[in-house]
Structures are given as structure tokens and as C-alpha cells.
Structure 1
Amino acid sequence: MPAYSRRQFITGASAAAAALALSYGPFASAATRDRALATTATRAVRTAGTTLEQVATPTGGGAYKRLQSGPGWPLVVRTDLAAAGAARDDRRTALASFVQFTDLHLVDTESPVRFEYLAQYLDSAHRPHEALTVRGASALVERINSLSGGPFTGTPFSLVMATGDNTDNHEQIELDWYLSVMSGGAITPNSGDPKRYEGVQNSGGSAYWNPESSFQDTYKAHGFPQIPGFLSAAGGTFTAPGLRTPWYTTVGNHDDSIEGSLPDLGLLNSLYTGDRKLEGCDDADAAALADALRNDPAKAVALLARLLGEGGPVRQVTSDPRRLPFTPKEFARAHLNPAYTGPGPVGHGFTSSAADSGRLYYTFPVSDGVLGISLDTTNRAGFADGSLGTAQLNWLESVLQSHSNHWYDTDGHPVRGGQSNELIVIFSHHTSGSMGNLLPDPYNPFEGRHDGNALVALLQRYPNVVAWVNGHTHQNQIIAHGHAVPERAFWEINTASHIDYPQHARIIEIADNGDGTLSLFTTLVESAARYATDFGDTSDAGLAALYRELSYNDPYATPAKKIGTPADHNTELLLAKPQG
């Protein structure tokens, strides 16, 4: 990759600029923000199309907020793990530039295996905008296609990595939508009867937003609009442009289990493809089922079966064999289908061996001198959180050793190893703090499981591991690991989902500063959808805009928490360069 060595700002002002960016926060004055944005602009190659330029901002005094363009978020320089050299912008050489998508949650909203009636207890059970997930994801693809490269190095993206929960209920039809969004093609985001919508949003139930009806449901009490034709437009066929950049997939718990929480042992397949959909239950049963989903998957399955058997608001829907869940082997095999190759690579990280074995972890080149490792942190025993099996942990250590010329053993003693010393970026769905699910995997019951602390400890033994990129929490958060020993430090970069507001993806650039440090630039991006909405516009563009605004107004969501702090947004993460 080319070296970018521009005189971007006065050398003596570098420390002051870093301090200014760090001082920017949610209560900073407009003048402070504007100075930080001006400093950011002098350091960037370009800011257009990113949250460095503009950010969706709520406006209005009512319960339902409209969105408009607001000031961008400045770069925050984080020196938790290394000092910022004064002249690093003049010496910088780009090493890698890529994009992270995460938690797209493409939803079959008409599926019988959904728990929409639990929204008051589990905010992910139902979202008012979920009929638009496929169009929202396609608008995100449009945004990435419009960008020529990273904002701080200008380097074109080598790849897009989707770090899990690409589907919502690991149905084959949802997987088809995901692969089509990424590779391009015609998509009809509708299941069952292709001529009508058969989900909860035209049920007349007060617990759901009924967008086409004048009925005053709970959501309309929060200011949600009536939008004639919304559901038929949302389920209509459209053409997704597909990425122009090679892309890869990491598996998440929603790609692996029922609603991302219940073990899929094949016991509910007839319910998936059947013609009965439960649309509600009383509050006591809803609370019990929500608790069981969090704490006792077996109890949750039994309670769900009872609710369906006892009647209640059960709706007759059109059965659809495309709703059948996929196995890990089928997940890998679908990626190998030539219809979904798009810009490549063939298999998008998965090989014929993965399709035969169901082993969904692999390595791939991020760029020359930078290796990517995609992990499978799901646990098929159920529950949302994850862990690693012993076989995968041992495989990971063997890969780290083969791509490192030195590391530390478990007692902290230095070890010399292989000839190469590539920089390494780890990708997974789960974060270090959400890998505490140590239940035995029912498909490998005698294999040990390992938590996030074990993975952090392993990664810190390899100085050339520079970043761990993940999702799952639906929250922007960046964590520094290894403050005490610079050579054993790395950054954990967690990005919010693209289903819950703020619906972000993240650009990550790695650069050598020529002074013994690396900079990892992390820049958040929104979809290409316009900010302004028109309740009378159900075109593709109009629906993409509504997707963002409706997500902000979801009464069960917590956007302020998920957005994160300025130190989790657009950042320059300093790190000591590994010595080889």
C-alpha cells in the first residue's frame, strides 16, 4: 500500500490537537466541538459520507422525534496504550483499510417462531421497524459503495467483514436475504403468502404498531404515524446493489440458534415451517417466558409449546418450507453457492471443508502483512452469550504461533518461533465481556469451553495481535487491553448493530507511524438513507429513511446507551508497534 506523508498540520500543535479531541464530550460547547471538527478535517484525507461529516440528530418536542443532519463527531485520540508522536501524520504509511458490518438481524417478521409479545421484557423480541431490515442493510451497502477508501489514509477497502447475527432466527430464507444483500440481486423480503403480510403488525393488537391502520395502538400513543401501504411496500421486491468490495462472514448466535437464545436441536422444525403463529399471551406467561429465555432454555421450549397448545391469540399463517433453520454445515455451504459470489472471494471465508465439517472459523488476508482470523464464539447449548471450545482455542494458538516470530508462554517467558510476523486482527461476534457461557456444547458434550478472559490472556501473549473486532452488544465501545506491558497490548473494537439505533458500521484503518507506534483509526458510518422522512413516501428510498427514524423512536430501545461515548466513536487508537 502507498505511504501517505502529507504535511497535515503544524507539528508543534499535535499534542494540543490531541488534547482538544479528548476534551470533546456530550456536554462540550459548540465552539469546542467545532474546533475539534476543524482539527479532524485537517488530519483526514476526506470526511464525506462518514460521521466525521454529519450525524443523524433528533429534533422536535413531541414523543416521536424526527431526524435531521447534525454536526459530525470529531476524532478522539486515545493514548491509553501508547503516546502520540508529534509528527506522526507526516510519516504515516497505510497498512490496511477495511469495513465492519455487524448485527444486521435480517428478520422474517412473519415466522411462527418469533416472540414479539415479549418486547416489553426483551427489547429485541419485536421492533416497530423490523419489516425494513433488508432494505436498511441494502442502504448500508450503498453507503460503503459510495466511499473511495478510509478517511485518514485514503486507502481503498480490501474487504467488508460482517461479524455475526446476519440473520435473526437462522432461517434459510433469512440467510438467502443476507447473501443477496451482500452480493446483489432481486430480493422479496416476505415469507408465506407472497401476496399479503401475515405478521403481528396488522393483527389489530394494541401491543404492536399497526402502521396501515388508524387503530390507536401503544406505538401510536408514542406518536408513531399511520402509513398506508407500509407493509405491502416493505414486503415488495427490490434489487439490492450488492457490495463492490470482497466480503467475509463471521457467525453469531442468531445465525446459530432459535431467536439467538434457545438451542436448536431440530425439535421445533415443524413449528418453523408450520401454519400457526402465536401473537400474544398474558403478562404472567410473557414474563415467565422472557425469564426462561435468559436463564433456562429447556423451560422456555416447554412453555412455548404449552402456549401454542392452549390457544390464545394464535393466527393461521401460510406455511413456508424456506423458514426451516440451517445447520452450521448448511450455513457454510450456502456461502459457496456461485449465485452469491459477488465480488468474492468464493465462499466468503468458508471452504468446502467447512461445509463438510461445520467448522466455522478460518483465516484470511486483510492486506499484505495483515492476517485476519474469524472465530466462532457461539455455543449451541443456547443462551445469547458465547465461548470457545478447546479445539478451536488450540487451533487459534497454533495459527498465532505460525504467524509470529516471538511470543510469551503462559508463565510470561519469551519464546522464539516462526519466520513471519504479520500483524493480526481477530474477528468474532461476541465480546470479551459476553463470553461467559460455559455450558457444554450438546454436539461436543465432552469438550471444554473457555470464556473471554481466557481469550484475552491468549491474545496478550502474542505481540503482533493489534485488534479484536466484534459486535453482539449492539453498543459502540472500545476497550484497551494490556496497559501494563505495551508489547502485550491490543485494542478491542466493539461496534453497534445495524438494526437498533444508531445503526452504525465502522471503517478501520491501520497505519505505521514511522516512530515505533501504530495508529488504528476507527470511523463510524451510517447508511446512505436520507435523514428526512416522508410518511407518504413508501419508495425504496423512503423506506430506508423510515428504517433509521423508526429505530430511534422504538419505545423499548435505549439509543443513548448504544451510541456509546465520544471515545467509542471516531478514534485514533495508538499502539506500540510489535518488534520483529
Structure 2
Amino acid sequence: MTKVNRRRFLTGAGAGLGGALTLNVLGAAAPSRIGGGFWTPATAHADALAGSTAGTTLEAVATPAGPHGYQRLTAGPAYPVVVRTELAPAQAARADRRRALASLVQMTDMHILDAQSPVRVEFVHPLIGSASRPQDLLTTQGLTSLVGRINALAGGPHSGRRFDAVVTTGDNTDNHEHVELDWYLTALSGGRFTPNTGDLHRYEGTQDSGFDLYWNPESRHTDSFKRAGFPVIDGYFDAALAPMSSPGLTVPWFAVFGNHDDSVLGTAPSGIPPITDLYTSNLKLGAPGSAEEAERLQRALRADPAAVPGLIGQMTNPARIVTPDERRAPFTPREFMAAHFDPRYLGPGPHGHGFAADAPETGIGYYGFEIAPGVVGISMDSTNRGGFVDGSFGDAQFRWIEQTLAAGSSRYFDAGGREVRTGADDTLFVLFSHHTSDTTGLLIPDPENPAEPRHSGAELVALLHRFPNVCAWVNGHTHANKVTPHPGPTAQQGFWEVNTASHIDFPQYARVIEVVDNADGTLSLLATLIESDAPCQVPYDDLSPLGLASLYRELSYNDVNRDPDNMGGPADHNVELLLASPFA
């Protein structure tokens, strides 16, 4: 582990808000092993920008233009900064004393999606809203527009510190198809790609089916979505499926694994032959003839996936013949990790985007990486290989987390509450996972390690309380904005859980997190939501990639299955999260 002494940690990381930073950042090096995981040192890059709110929700927020019905979006009032003091008090004039220690961006739940895949079950969307969204065909345009926003911002709005890292917190793909993996990696690393599968000269999904159940954007037929106000858009399919380019991120980025990166639609376990064979078949499922048929399929998907093919055969509407595509074949967790080492996807690095060089062989999906000198990220793998929606942590990973935290702590508390002093230099830790503390209770055995105990999010919270230098646990999965304090036995043993909404469902946010030392016995996490760089509204004949990214956001707001609770409240949006400093 790279050690950063306390004096350099407090005095060498930077100057006040908006000022120049003097950095002593380690050059890139090969990862080193710590316990069961790996350490990737930070990559040196330029110092501070002038802090600015431009391009963030501190400046403006995409907001519906009217009170009712289908809504176009407009730039609405900015979110204020809510100062949260549940874990430490806010001292006066702290902004004048602050020193920026790290600045990063969390992207989460992009769900890059092959909307024409035979495995998709769009017809159950009245029961499971995520089964079909009107914006499903535009995930790549939306993600590329978010990449553009991050590149344009370049640094934190409060401190001006250039971004040290971008971290994706899982569900990078929607249905763990190889082609989705290629689009996601190309969008983040830069390059040209065609977001189309099957017949590359025509659309073969559900949105030209004529079924009332779906939005049919090029048809004058009045479907259920058009009755809700959705527009007719000529040329939509050709534009959405056209070749496109992404500039790629300009900041080193790190990957976290999610349940949609591992299982069928993020729900059903992988490896069931009747379902696996459907991926590359020429049959695209139709629509149930009744609510009863749809409900039977929905129950089978959750409880008995092997029964799904038989139920499909009994559906009233026959399957549609489509063009098979081998690129739709599902990838395994090891193949997911291996793809991050492909030279085509290196982008700004690091090589492997956090995963250790032997991860494709070992299957270890967790690792440590240096965000900035003295600030370390722990990327956790909360996905249970047994499938299903929620997650947990294997015992080997759990013990590795404990060992890694102990190695970077000058003092911590053992399982009995006794203080342990190590003589090590203190490091601040920010942990990342896909699942949240309350969605990590799936303790079924891992098929790869059936005898290994599994640990819940509640157990991880208890573990993190033992280490005063844990700042935050950052995650996704719920598609909602939620910021939760986790007070510990003492003030210094508290930490924050920061859960951010997805980039497929409205409000389509990412989050900037700046770690600063207030030089008064407290730290602050300055968390700011950002949107893509697409305009709030464009004419419907603007079918450029940026215009489609704007439409992507608009359709997500108007989705008939949208959950308004995903927005969260002011205390979950732009926040300053106070912590007792472990260095005081």
C-alpha cells in the first residue's frame, strides 16, 4: 500500500476553494496485491481549474415546462446546497480554509441496451416498468452525451480540483450481451460504433409492432403512449440506429460490476439453456393476449425462469421472426473483466480499468485503487452469481475489505470494540458498489463457491463503523437519489451512504463528489448532481446524436411507468456532508 504521511495529507493536497492546487500525485504503476484484491495507483494530471457551477444542477435543472400531460422539458431553478450535519457540526468560515483532497464522478446504471434482443420481455412492462421504456433505443446517445458533460466540466464545481477519477457503479449493460458490452466500453473509452443488431438495414423491435402496449414512434396509429401525448417522429429508427461516435472520457475510469452485468435482464440466473439459446435465436417474443398471460410470465421470470419458454409457447400472439445475431450472446463475469483489458477500450486508462491482471482467470471482481494521494477507493463486487436482483458479499471479499481498511488506518476498532493502534499512516477510504446497504441481503450460495458464507449490507455497515477513516459508501441499483448518514459509536466512526439515480430512468443523473479537509476537525463531501450536455428541449426533427440524447431525457420523464420517488428530496440532491476528521 502506498503510504501518505499525515503532514503531506493535510498540507500538500491543495489550496483554498477556487485556488491553485499543488499536487504530489504518484505516477502510474502496476497494481499491487493487498489481501485478495489489488491496488491501482493514481495517474498524474494537471492541477486546479476555477471552480464553477456551470453545467451542473447548481446552475439549472431539467424541469417539466407545464403542470399536466406529456411534458417538454426546460431549464428550471437550480438545486440549492443542503448542509447536512447529522455526523458532524458545520463550523463557520470553513469554506475559506478548505483544502481539496480528491474529486471524482460517479456514473451509475447506464443500462446500455440492445432494444431488439429476442430475450427482452417488453410485454410485462405494465407489471415491471423496466421491462420496456419508450427511451430504450437511445441509451448510447444518452451515455455519450453524459461523457461530453463530464469532459466539459473537467473538475469539481466547489473546489475546482480536476477530476481524479470516474467510477461506474454497475449495471453498465442491461442484459449482459457482448454487443452491449462493446457499446458501453466504446462510449467510455472513445470510438465509433453502430448501436444496432440483427438486420442492420431495418428496425426489428417492438416499437413498430402496431401493438397498443408500446410507443410506435413512426406510426400514426394511436397506441397507449400516444394517447398519453407521445409524439410521432418520422425517421426515428434510422437516426437511432445510425453509426455514431463518442469522444470517450478524458479522465481515468474504473468499473464496478452490477446484477444486470451478470444475469438475464438483471433478474433471472444465467446459464439456463432455454433462455440462453433465445439470445441468438431468430424469434422475437410477441405480446401477451391478456393481463393473465403477462402476469404468469412475470411470476415465472422471478420465481421459475426455466418455465418461461413453455409459457411463451402458450401465448396468444406468436413470436416474430427476426435476424439472429451472434453478438447478442451473453458474457460471463470473467469475460466482462477481460474486455476491460482490450486495447481498443484503454481510453485514458488505467489498463483494465481497475480490475487486476489475473481477474479474468480468478473471477475476483473487487479491487483497491488510489483516487488521489491519501484517498483510496475500494471497488466491491456485490453481485451474487446465483442471480436475482439483490446482492451480498462473499466471505473472502469481506475479509479483504477488513484487511485493506486496517492496512490504511493508524487506529481502528476490533470486532469487540477495542481500539487498535497500528503505527500506519492514515488513508481516507471511499467505497463503491452496485447494491446499497439495504439491497444486499441475498445470502443464497454463490454457485462458484457454494460453501463460502455470504455477508449482508448490514454486516458491512457494522464493519465500516470500526474504521474512523471511512468517508463514504457510494452506490446505485435503486435508480433513486438517496443520501443516508450512518452514525457510529463515536463521532469519528460515522460515514455517509450516497445512492445516485440511474442514467436510463428520469432524472438521469451522475454525481460529482469532492472530498475536502475543512481544517477545523471536520471533512466535507461536496456532492453535486449533473445531467448530460444535451439541451433540455430540441425540435422533433433534430435527430442528431445530441438531439436524440435530449429526446432520451424527455421520453424518460414522460414514461408511463416513471417512479417520481426516484428524484429524492433536496437533502438527496446537492449536499455538503460533514464528517468528523480522523486526523483531528
Give the Cα separation in 2 of the matches to 1:483 and 1:533. Answer: 48
Q: Is the 8 A contact 1:463 1:487 kept in 2?
A: yes
Secondary structure of the residue aligned to 2:160 is coil
Evaluate the alpha carbon distance shift between residue 483 and residue 356 of structure 1 in structure 2; reply closer, same or farther with a 3 A threshold: closer
Q: Within the alignment, does 1:183 sit opposite 2:189 as a pair?
A: yes
Q: Within the alignment, does 1:279 sit opposite 2:283 as a pair?
A: no
Aligned to 1:65: 71
Kindly provide the amino acid, as one letter, of the partner of residue 293 in structure 2: D
Deviations 1:256-286 (A, max 9, x none): 1100011102523221111101121131121
Aligned to 1:129: 135
Query: Cα offset for 1:62?
Result: 4.6
Matches within 5 A, 1:183-222: 183-222=189-228
Aligned to 2:30: none
Matches within 5 A, 1:482-521: 482=487, 484-521=489-526
Q: Within the alignment, does 1:573 sit opposite 2:577 as a pair?
A: yes
Aligned to 2:405: 400
Aligned to 1:11: none
Secondary structure of the residue aligned to 2:335 is helix
Query: Cα offset for 1:355?
Result: 1.0
Q: Is the 8 A contact 1:165 1:255 kept in 2?
A: yes
Give the Cα separation in 2 of the matches to 1:215 and 1:57. Answer: 29
Give the Cα separation in 2 of the matches to 1:345 and 1:146. Answer: 21
Moved more, 272-281 or 283-292: 283-292
Q: Is the 8 A contact 2:409 2:427 kept in 1?
A: yes
Evaluate the alpha carbon distance shift between residue 84 and residue 168 of structure 1 in structure 2; reply closer, same or farther with a 3 A threshold: same
Kindly provide the amino acid, as one letter, of the partner of residue 390 in structure 1: D
Give the Cα separation in 1 of the matches to 2:372 and 2:575. Answer: 21
Aligned to 2:116: 110
Unaligned runs of 5+ in 2: 1-12, 20-49
Matches within 5 A, 1:236-251: 236-251=242-257
Query: Cα offset for 1:482?
Result: 1.3
Q: Within the alignment, does 1:556 sit opposite 2:568 as a pair?
A: no
Aligned to 1:45: 51
Deviations 1:108-128 (A, max 9, x none): 001111110011111110000
Deviations 1:46-73 (A, max 9, x none): 2100000000010135510110011101
Deviations 1:195-214 (A, max 9, x none): 11111011111100000100
Give the Cα separation in 2 of the matches to 1:45 and 1:340. Answer: 30
Aligned to 1:37: none
Secondary structure of the residue aligned to 2:131 is coil
Give the Cα separation in 2 of the matches to 1:85 and 1:61. Answer: 40
Moved more, 536-545 or 248-257: 536-545
Give the Cα separation in 1 of the matches to 2:258 and 2:470. Answer: 22
Q: Is the 8 A contact 1:85 1:515 kept in 2?
A: yes
Evaluate the alpha carbon distance shift between residue 411 and residue 448 of structure 1 in structure 2; reply closer, same or farther with a 3 A threshold: same
Q: Is the 8 A contact 2:17 2:159 kept in 1?
A: no
Aligned to 2:104: 98
1:265 aligns with one of 254, 267, 271: 271
Matches within 5 A, 1:355-370: 355-370=360-375
Q: Is the 8 A contact 2:51 2:155 kept in 1?
A: no
Kindly provide the amino acid, as one letter, of the partner of residue 536 in structure 1: D
Aligned to 2:443: 438
Secondary structure of the residue aligned to 1:293 is helix
Q: Is the 8 A contact 1:477 1:494 kept in 2?
A: yes
Aligned to 2:9: none
1:354 aligns with one of 325, 340, 359: 359
Aligned to 2:420: 415
Evaluate the alpha carbon distance shift between residue 429 and residue 418 of structure 1 in structure 2; reply closer, same or farther with a 3 A threshold: farther
Query: Cα offset for 1:309?
Result: 6.5
Give the Cα separation in 1 of the matches to 2:463 and 2:293. Answer: 43
Give the Cα separation in 2 of the matches to 1:226 and 1:198. Answer: 18
Give the Cα separation in 2 of the matches to 1:414 and 1:305. Answer: 59
Query: Cα offset for 1:231?
Result: 1.3
2:149 aligns with one of 139, 143, 167: 143
Secondary structure of the residue aligned to 1:454 is helix
2:324 aligns with one of 316, 319, 322: 319
Give the Cα separation in 1 of the matches to 2:67 and 2:96. Answer: 47
Give the Cα separation in 2 of the matches to 1:328 and 1:492. Answer: 26
Deviations 1:346-397 (A, max 9, x none): 1101122101111111010110000100000001222211001111111111
Kindly provide the amino acid, as one letter, of the partner of residue 535 in structure 2: R
Q: Is the 8 A contact 2:481 2:573 kept in 1?
A: yes
Deviations 1:73-125 (A, max 9, x none): 11110000000010211111100000000000001001111110011111110
Q: Is the 8 A contact 1:96 1:155 kept in 2?
A: yes
Identity %: 53
Deviations 1:206-264 (A, max 9, x none): 10000010011110010000001111210110111111111110000000110001110
Query: Cα offset for 1:405?
Result: 1.9
Q: Is the 8 A contact 1:246 1:344 kept in 2?
A: yes
Give the Cα separation in 2 of the matches to 1:505 and 1:6. Answer: 22
Give the Cα separation in 2 of the matches to 1:419 and 1:425. Answer: 18
Q: Is the 8 A contact 1:184 1:241 kept in 2?
A: yes
Kindly provide the amino acid, as one letter, of the partner of residue 63 in structure 2: T
Unaligned runs of 5+ in 1: 8-43
Moved more, 375-384 or 544-553: 375-384
Compare the two structures and name the one with the higher helix fraction. 1
Give the Cα separation in 2 of the matches to 1:301 and 1:506. Answer: 39
Secondary structure of the residue aligned to 2:515 is strand
Q: Is the 8 A contact 1:328 1:359 kept in 2?
A: no
1:380 aligns with one of 368, 385, 395: 385
Number of residues of Structure 1 aligned to a counterpart in Structure 2: 540
What TM-score do you get using the length of structure 2 for normalisation?
0.90
Q: Is the 8 A contact 2:208 2:217 kept in 1?
A: yes
Give the Cα separation in 1 of the matches to 2:259 and 2:86. Answer: 31
Give the Cα separation in 2 of the matches to 1:388 and 1:289. Answer: 30
1:165 aligns with one of 163, 166, 171: 171
Moved more, 379-388 or 504-513: 379-388
Q: Is the 8 A contact 2:408 2:425 kept in 1?
A: yes
Give the Cα separation in 2 of the matches to 1:513 and 1:292. Answer: 53
Aligned to 1:470: 475
2:236 aligns with one of 230, 239, 244: 230
Give the Cα separation in 2 of the matches to 1:58 and 1:190. Answer: 31
Give the Cα separation in 2 of the matches to 1:205 and 1:189. Answer: 24
Secondary structure of the residue aligned to 1:200 is coil
Query: Cα offset for 1:292?
Result: 3.7
Q: Within the alignment, does 1:3 sit opposite 2:49 as a pair?
A: no
Query: Cα offset for 1:311?
Result: 6.8
Kindly provide the amino acid, as one letter, of the partner of residue 575 in structure 1: L
Aligned to 2:339: 334
Evaluate the alpha carbon distance shift between residue 418 and residue 443 of structure 1 in structure 2; reply closer, same or farther with a 3 A threshold: farther
Query: Cα offset for 1:533?
Result: 2.5
Runs of 4+, deviation exceeding 4 Å: none
Kindly provide the amino acid, as one letter, of the partner of residue 328 in structure 2: R
Secondary structure of the residue aligned to 1:83 is coil
Secondary structure of the residue aligned to 1:90 is helix
Aligned to 1:25: none
